[in-house]
Structure formats: C-alpha cells, structure tokens
Structure 1
Amino acid sequence: MTAVNDRPEVRTPEQGGVPLTTEPRAPRGERGVADRSAPAFGPETDPLDVIRWALEAHPDVVMPSAFNLNGVVLLDLAVRAGYRGEVVFVDTGYHFPETLQTRDRLAERYPELSFVTLNAGAHPEDGQTPSDLYASDPDACCAVRKVAPLQSHLRQKAPSALLNARSREQATTRADIPFVETGVRVKVNPLAHWTREQLEAYATQNDLPVNPLYWDGFLSVGCWTCTRAVRPGEDARAGRWAGKGKTECGLWAGNNAL
C-alpha cells in the first residue's frame, strides 16, 4: 500500500490522465445545523466517542456508504465501536469496477455487518434514465439513480439517524458540518474534523482495503462518467462533476437531502 506521506501523482492529459477543468466549483454550502441535544463534542473529540454516543442514542442508526477513503475508515471505526447494522450502497450502474471490488473486499473483512446493495445490477442501458442523462442533466441522473433508491430504502427502514463519513476538509459545501446535525433525520458525522492526512494514516496503520483509484489521484470516487482525478491543491471532491458547478449528488444537500 502507498505510504502515509506519499501523495498520488495525478497524470496530465498528455500523460494519459483524465482531462482537467478550470471551471468554478459550487459555492460554499449553508452551515450545518448542530443538534443541540447531542453532547458538546469538540474538534479534538475521538470519532469513536461520537460513534458510541450515536449507537446508544440511536440504536437503529444506518450507515450509507460509497466506500471512499472516509467511508472505509468509518466502517472500521464503527465496527470497533460496536456497530453491527446495515452498510447501504447504491449501485447506479456507472460505478468503477474498483469500487465494486472494494465493496466486496469490505464485506469479506467485516462479516458482522450487513452489506446492502440497492439497485443491484443497474447498468447504463437499463432504462431507468436516458443513457446520456448524466451529461445533459447530472442532477436528474443522480436523483433517479442514487438519491431515490436510498430514500426509498430509508422510508422503509425509518431509522432515526444516519452514520456517515463526511468531513469538513472534503469540500466547501461541507466546511461547517457539525458532529451531529439535525434535519429530516439526525446525521452523525464522526469524521467531521479529521484531515486527509489523519484518514490516510489510519487506513495505512490498519491495512484497510482502500479503493485503489484513491492512490491514483481519485480522492473521491463516484460514477466513472462524472469523476476525474484531482490536481494538487484541489479539494478532495474537485474531481466530482468537474466543470458542472455541482459538488453534491443530492443526498446531503438540496431539496431532497436525506
């Protein structure tokens, strides 16, 4: 595995890499609304303490995941804290093979968790959306292929809280998220204050099965149609929907947020 202090070298288009863009990213998101009923966690709070609180306060908590670096770290921490619930992944039909392989490696490593794949077997020609919708209207594509299946599952499960892996450093739209956030459901963000360096160190020290694309500069991996590697100095999600003024799929921000 790549050493903790190594940085992925992003290849230029001339070197066979993914074309880059200089178009602006989405604006800074609104400040997350902290749940005042939660403990007064501080920036130095151990994520394990946040997870243990969540398991006690919300025994029905569910964990959605796309198996990025943050998600893999959270999975390991959650198991250490005693989580034994669902890990819910949405198959959009456009995922990289490496992402699906990472899911399978995680399921093998953590048999105490219930890995649930929604929309399993989806593919670009499955009729859910026009095959080019991701290019003409990425918001609509995400809404149908990613947001809707997860919302439907959560309506059936009706958990009081979601355990998720977002962190402030990932993007401007996440720069103010608290550890515990109010909304349609309580959103618990144990990694809110962890940096990329901390995440990489934890993953390396614990030999976690990180998506191999991460080490190639794909610091946040979504659908292959809408993801590129990032350049040095860009935020971790700069490769998602680059050039489209879009930074979130709609799960955590917007009118249909979870």
Structure 2
Amino acid sequence: MAEPARKLDLMDVRPAFTQADADALNARFAGVDTLPMLRTLFDENLLGETAVVSSFGTESAVLLDLISRAAPDTPVIFVDTLKMFPETETYRVELLDRLGMHNRRVITPDPAMLEKKDATGLRWSYDPDGCCEIRKVEPLARAKHGLDSWFSGRKAFQSQTRANLPRFEIEDGRLKVNPLGDWTKDDLEAYFTERDLPRHPLEAQGYLSIGCSPCTSRVMPGEDPRAGRWRGWDKVECGIHVSTIAPSADDPIF
C-alpha cells in the first residue's frame, strides 16, 4: 500500500535565490530607472514573499515612496530597538499614512534576551556591537523568517563598506534588493523636492543619520553625514547587513 502523500509546508517548496539569480537580475535591469524596475519586479512576481525594511531615518522616505508607487501593499518592517527617538516613531506613522502603506510590521527585541544580556539598558555605552546584536540584528532575523527577498535602503555613497553596491545580492539564500544603491545624495534631494516628501523632524536639528537615540549625535558642519552614528567608536554599521542569524521555525515573526 502506497504511503499517503506528505502535506508540504510552503517553506519546504520555497526555492532559495542563488548568486546566478542575482547576476541575471543585475544584468536585466542595468540602466533601467528605479521605478520601472520596481514595477516590473512586482508585476512579474519576481520576488516571492517580500518586504521593505526601513529605519525611518532622514533618507527613508525616498525608497518607501517608490515602493508605494509600485506596490503599496508591500509589508513595511520597522525594528523598534526600544531605544529610538520618539520623533522617529511619529515620523513612521505620519509618513506611512501619507503614502497609503498600511501593511506595517513592528518587531522588538526578545524580552528574555534583554533581561539576560542588557538588564540595565546600558549595554550601548560599553558594547555597542553587542547592543545592536540583541536589539536590531536578532529581531530583524526573526522578521525576515519566511521571506524570499527584502528591500534595503542602502546607498553606495554612504560609506566605504557600501561601495560598489549592486542592486541585487544574495544574503542567506534570500534576494536582497538595493533599489537606491547607485543613487547619489543629489538624486535623493531632487526626489524629495519633486515628490514633496516630508523630512524627519530631527534632520533640521543637525541629525543627518538617525539611529537609536543614545548612539546618535548631531553632525557638525563639514563632517560626514554618518559621523554622528556611534561617535567615538570604531563602528560604522549596526550589523543587520552582515547578519547570518538563523531563527528557529517556531520563533514568532511579530
């Protein structure tokens, strides 16, 4: 007697993206403007289960506006580290309301991990890498569980670690899409003006790159825009773009 067919979970049949896939997409969309590229990606269902991850910093409105014009129902993931500026949360709600993006997902650090590794809430002051790991990297790894691809707002001009950033790359079997990878600061400013997008309220106060409040400071005239992040530390990235954390299939996403 033949065994009954096993009911497959969707995760069992979801193919992982490969470097060959990323290479093919980079070749296909070379020289194609960002918005037409995004519309094609969604129209042809080339991304599988996807979401856009946003920090709701000073440049975040550009990518979110582009995604909203191509596929406004795209899930928007925000990692609330519980150390964010209150202005960032206000900006998040107001910006998404304006763009008509209502599929919103907020992920927070695991309470048990915080109790074990940052009970005082002061880990940022002596181990910023460890703080980012438990407050940003691990939560985002849970948030991406079940996704085939995700959108990042990184740009090549932001730092040396982001130089030569491709539009499509592979991270842990997922397709990582960097639609603004080749945009310049002037491109971003022009888009803000053209689309009349709202600015983060702290930008006018000299915060040109905004993360968690304890590790973000004002940028002085002539400084690099990211000079206000982790000032005094040999640190330029929070770690979410190099993470290889693999959450359990039983971990909740949100």
TM class by shorter-chain length? 0.7 to 0.9
What SS does the aligned partner of 1:88 have? strand
| Matched length | 223
Partner of 2:163: 175
232-241 or 178-187: bigger deviation: 232-241
Aligned with 2:165: secondary structure? coil
Residue in 1 that maps onto 2:135? 145
CA contact (8 A) 2:26 2:166 kept: no
The answer to whether the 8 A contact 2:72-2:100 is kept is no
| Structure 2 residues without counterparts, runs of 5 or longer | 1-18, 248-254
Cα gap change, 1:88 to 1:252, in 2 (>3 Å): same
Alpha-carbon shift at residue 113 of structure 1 (Å): 3.3
Distance 2:214 2:165 in 1: 28
5+ long unaligned stretches in structure 1: 1-31
Q: Which amino acid aligns with 2:238?
A: C
2:67–2:74 Cα contact (<8 Å) kept: no
When you count helix as a share of all residues, which structure comes out higher? Answer: 2
1:42-70 CA distance string (max 9 Å, x none): 77531113322432310421111011233
Change (3 A) 1:175 1:43: farther
TM-score calculated relative to the size of structure 2: 0.78
| Aligned CA distance change for structure 1 residues 126 and 89 (closer, same or farther; 3 Å) | farther
Deviation by residue 1:61-88 (Cα, 9 ceiling, x = unmatched): 1111011233211010111112412111
Separation (CA, whole Å) in 1 of partners of 2:21 and 2:165: 8
> What one-letter code is carried by the residue in structure 2 that aligns with 1:230?
V
User: Would you say the 8 A contact 1:68–1:211 is kept in 2?
Assistant: yes
Higher relative contact order (CA 8 A, sep 6+): 1
Larger radius of gyration: 2
Aligned Cα root-mean-square deviation (Å) = 2.8
Give 1:189's match in structure 2, choosing from 175, 178, 193. Answer: 178
**In structure 1, which of residues 131, 140, 145 is the aligned counterpart of residue 121 of structure 2?**
131
Write out per-residue CA displacement over residues 144-200 of structure 1, whole angstroms, 9 at most, x where no aligned residue: 111111111222xx1111111110111111112101111212110111111112212
Secondary structure of 2:176's partner? strand
